[in-house]
Amino acid sequence: MKEIKTRIPVYDLEGKVVENFQLDKELFDGVINKTLLYEVNKMYEASKRQGNASSKTRSEVKGGGSKPWRQKGTGRARVGSSRNPVWRHGGSAFGPRPRDYSYTVPKKAVRKALLSSLNARLTEDMIKAILKIDVKEIKTREFKKILDNLKLGGKTLIVVNEPSREVRLASRNLEGVTLKESRNINARDVLLNEWLLIEKDALEKLTERLR
């Protein structure tokens, strides 16, 4: 297992290191539970499924109200409806029906999965802390400048304590950038992005949530 840093630098908006943040050694120990990450991610994927696939049964197919022929005397097998599953244009016997695919795993497992995802990014040196994210104008280029100063490229998850209106609007048009509050992130959010940029206050709140 790769040794991870117990202290990470905290940057300002210009990309300069202003201080260091001491991580909780008991939480950020580099342990990654891949099996748990798989199970929790599967739960999030299942909850996104619409589950609205549907096929008609024999009672829902139009027609077939009368017997195709009389019960006896024709020499053919008895048939009650022309809409039974054996016949062409008949209903489906075991077709899909609307259903709910979502399920839950224990809260403790969800919390540990989030911690494992953070440890995974930490071992890869893909987590950067910033003092505070702020923009003077609601301009996409202003927000992009902050990411360029921090040398962030690719898909980036930005975690803040409480986003201001300016930050929320300035970041929404940037491709590959996701802005979330620390209380709302989960393991899937972390795994879907290459970089994690997190405010110092948000990191403190997140650490309290993981304890």
Vertex 14: Cα angle to 146 and 179 (nearest 5)? 30
The pLDDT tens digits for 108-143 are 999 999 999 999 999 999 999 999 999 989 999 999
Question: Are residues 28 and 77 located together in one domain of the fold?
Answer: no
What are the structure tokens assigned to 71, written together? 């019960």
Give the chain's mean pLDDT: 94
Question: Are residues 130 and 203 located together in one domain of the fold?
Answer: yes
The pLDDT tens digits for 51-99 are 999 999 999 999 988 999 999 999 999 999 999 999 999 999 999 999 9
Nearest of 1, 2, 5, 14 to residue 134 by alpha carbon: 14
In a domain, 202, yes or no: yes
**Structural domain boundaries enclosing 20:** 7-44+105-210
Identify the CATH number of the domain in which residue 159 sits.
3.40.1370.10
Q: At what angle do helices 34-48 and 107-123 cross, to 10 degrees?
A: 120
Question: Are residues 23 and 116 located together in one domain of the fold?
Answer: yes
Question: Are residues 69 and 140 located together in one domain of the fold?
Answer: no
Question: Are residues 92 and 32 located together in one domain of the fold?
Answer: no
Question: Are residues 96 and 57 located together in one domain of the fold?
Answer: yes
In a domain, 2, yes or no: no
pTM of the model: 0.84
Q: What is the pLDDT of residue 5?
A: 72
Decide: 184 and 40 in contact? Cβ < 8 Å: no
Number of domains making up the chain: 2
Distance CA 58, CA 16 (A): 69
